[in-house]
Amino acid sequence: MSIKLDQIPSFLRSVAETEIMPRFRNLAQGEVLQKKGGETVTIADLETEKHLSRLLLDLFPGSYVIGEEKVAERPDLLNGLPDEKLVWVIDPIDGTNNFARGSETFRTMLALLYQGETIGAWIYDPVRQILLEAQKGEGARLDGRPLVLSKPFPLSSSDCIGTLHGSENSDPLLAKTVQRNRDQLNVVKTLRCAGADYERLSRSETHFALFTRLMPWDHLPGILIHQEAGGYSACLDGEEYRSHSYAKEGLLLAPNKQIWNEIRDVLLPAIPGK
């Protein structure tokens, strides 16, 4: 299977060249739409997901493909992903709002699951043509070079910085508690693109992140890359993030478990059981 997976980078590059970059800063009237629920989607999102899905199914006949835009039309597809099959999870353009307004901060994200576990992950930057990737147990790579987190700073150090990603749908008590305690950490602005923020984490440009919107296409690729680079992550209840974890309250990433515990204790000291 690993030989076939070697073709994924070329798929991502060719689809970006065909479907994404010709439309970047060149979207025609009527090519920026609203999904059910009000989120932005562009023709580039839709065509990228369709094109990449075809390539993946041709490469692995009988596998199962699920994408953000497909789920937007049929939310029931998230229920009961088939563990007995290889499952591809696609975010065709992560950071669609950035893409639609001409910002370069967007990514294509892809994860491969088997028996519910993420075994392959790719995050591609179509503008800079940079690829982060990982396979379970084989380490993370940046454009083919090994990617390893730098030695972590103590949480008290001003060099230990991170992001807190809020969501309109997050639990009000959780949101209030995090907001009250955020000034105890060195917090920088998010990039409004999970893939780009996962890149910063995996390159040790930031050191921790809290997410409260937990859709699988936003996190499965980044979590595996971050873990294979040496990082630690878990949902706020301490459980491992899986494809079915999208209803949980939050996901926290850190350089190691010790710092993960320290950050959670700083942010959530007043929520019993957290």
Span 230-263, pLDDT tens digits: 999 999 999 999 999 999 989 999 999 999 999 9
**CATH code where residue 255 lies:** 3.40.190.80
pLDDT at 153: 95
Q: Quick one: 7 and 108 in the same domain? A: yes
Rounded to 10 degrees, the C-alpha dihedral 18/22/25/29 comes to -90
Q: Which domain holds residue 33?
A: 2-147
For the segment 57-81, the average pLDDT, to the nearest whole number, is: 93
DSSP structural state of residue 191: -
| % residues pLDDT > 70 (the chain) | 96
CA angle 32, 164, 105 (to 5 degrees): 35
CA angle 113, 259, 248 (to 5 degrees): 45
Average pLDDT of the chain, as a whole number: 94
pLDDT at 90: 98
Phi-psi region at 61: left, alpha or beta (left = phi > 0; alpha = psi -120 to 50): beta
- For residue 36, name the pLDDT band (cuts at 50, 70, 90): confident
pLDDT at 168: 64
CA dihedral sign of residues 191, 195, 197, 203: negative
pLDDT higher than 50, residue 274: no
pLDDT at 18: 98
Which structure tokens are listed for 109? 């994200």
pLDDT at 81: 85
Q: Quick one: 182 and 210 in the same domain? A: yes
pLDDT at 84: 83
pLDDT at 229: 98
Q: Quick one: 231 and 142 in the same domain? A: no
Residue 152 lies in a domain: no
For the segment 8-19, the average pLDDT, to the nearest whole number, is: 98
End-to-end CA distance of the chain: 40
Q: Quick one: 130 and 219 in the same domain? A: no
Residue 92 lies in a domain: yes
pLDDT at 169: 66
Q: Tens of pLDDT along 157-212?
A: 999 999 998 766 678 888 888 999 999 999 999 999 999 999 999 999 999 999 99
For the segment 16-30, the average pLDDT, to the nearest whole number, is: 97
DSSP structural state of residue 26: -
Structural domain count of the chain: 2
pLDDT at 40: 96
**CATH code where residue 110 lies:** 3.30.540.10
pLDDT at 166: 77
Q: Quick one: 131 and 38 in the same domain? A: yes
Residue 155 lies in a domain: no
Q: Quick one: 103 and 212 in the same domain? A: no
Closest among 124, 243, 97, 142 to 195, alpha carbons compared? 124
Q: Quick one: 23 and 103 in the same domain? A: yes
Phi, psi of 99 (to 5 degrees): -60, -45
Residue 11 near residue 19 (C-beta atoms within 8 A) = no
| % residues pLDDT > 90 (the chain) | 84
The C-alpha atoms of residue 60 and residue 75 are separated, in whole angstroms, by 24
pLDDT at 33: 94
Residue 80 lies in a domain: yes
* Predicted TM-score of the model (pTM): 0.95
Closest among 99, 123, 232, 117 to 134, alpha carbons compared? 123
Residue 272 lies in a domain: no
Q: Quick one: 12 and 89 in the same domain? A: yes
Final residue before a domain boundary, out of 120, 147, 174: 147
**Residue holding tokens 């939050």?**
250
